[in-house]
């Protein structure tokens, strides 16, 4: 991995990670009747513990510290995932890469919401189409961004 590869992967991870969080925070209230602060609290609970999750029946409120922990953790993981998908797709066509990015996002969904629930049981609450869609989009955006940044002169789409 050279410097240009790492730069492209880091930027792609940040772009895809921000879009993912925005999708979750918009779609959860719109379609799931949840709070926009629910997904960040679920992410932050990985580090801060389940005490940052609201009690059943209690409203999910904004907390700046919880949000910052969630954003930092999520963006760090997004960069790691973008390095992986960027490396896998680095020499593939854009079309093949986008399909693989969607598959990668779907794999992340299943790992997160079925595999990690043994350690983080609150993830089971997010087994829904919004999470599936957000993860699919993460994979697609991560690989598309990576390719556009890493090969700016050769990719036209």
Q: 27: Cβ–Cβ under 8 A, 6 or more apart, which residues?
A: 130, 133, 134
Continuous H helices in the chain? 3-32, 38-48, 64-89, 94-110, 129-150
> Is residue 143 situated within a structural domain?
yes
Residues of the chain with pLDDT under 70: 154-157
- pLDDT, position 156: 52
Class of residue 91 by CB neighbours under 10 A (exposed 0-12, middle 13-18, buried 19+): exposed
> Is residue 44 situated within a structural domain?
yes
* The model's pTM: 0.92
Alpha-carbon distance of 155 to 48, in angstroms, equals 42
> Is residue 155 situated within a structural domain?
no
> Is residue 134 situated within a structural domain?
yes
- pLDDT, position 149: 95
- pLDDT, position 54: 87
- pLDDT, position 22: 95
CB atoms within 10 A of CB 78: 24
- pLDDT, position 103: 98
Identify the domain containing residue 64 by its residue range.
3-150
First vs last C-alpha separation in the chain: 25
> Is residue 37 situated within a structural domain?
yes
> Is residue 73 situated within a structural domain?
yes
> Is residue 157 situated within a structural domain?
no
For the segment 72-91, what is each residue's pLDDT rounded down to a tens digit?
999 999 999 999 999 999 99
Number of domains in the chain: 1
> Is residue 156 situated within a structural domain?
no
107, HSE (Cβ side, Cα atoms, 13 Å): 11
């Amino acid at each position: 991995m050279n410097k240009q590869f790492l730069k492209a992967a880091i930027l792609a991870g940040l772009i895809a990670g921000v879009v993912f969080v925005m999708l979750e925070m918009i779609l959860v209230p719109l379609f799931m009747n949840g709070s926009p602060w629910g997904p960040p609290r679920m992410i932050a609970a990985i580090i801060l513990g389940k005490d940052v999750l609201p009690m059943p029946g209690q409203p999910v409120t904004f907390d700046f510290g919880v949000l910052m922990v969630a954003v930092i953790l999520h963006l760090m993981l997004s960069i790691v995932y973008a390095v992986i998908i960027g490396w896998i797709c680095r020499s593939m066509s854009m079309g093949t890469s986008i399909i693989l990015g969607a598959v990668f996002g779907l794999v992340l969904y299943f790992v997160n919401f079925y595999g990690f629930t043994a350690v983080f049981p609150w993830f089971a609450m997010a087994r829904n189409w919004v999470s599936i869609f957000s993860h699919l989009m993460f994979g697609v955006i991560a690989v598309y961004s990576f390719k556009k940044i890493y090969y700016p002169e050769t990719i036209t789409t």
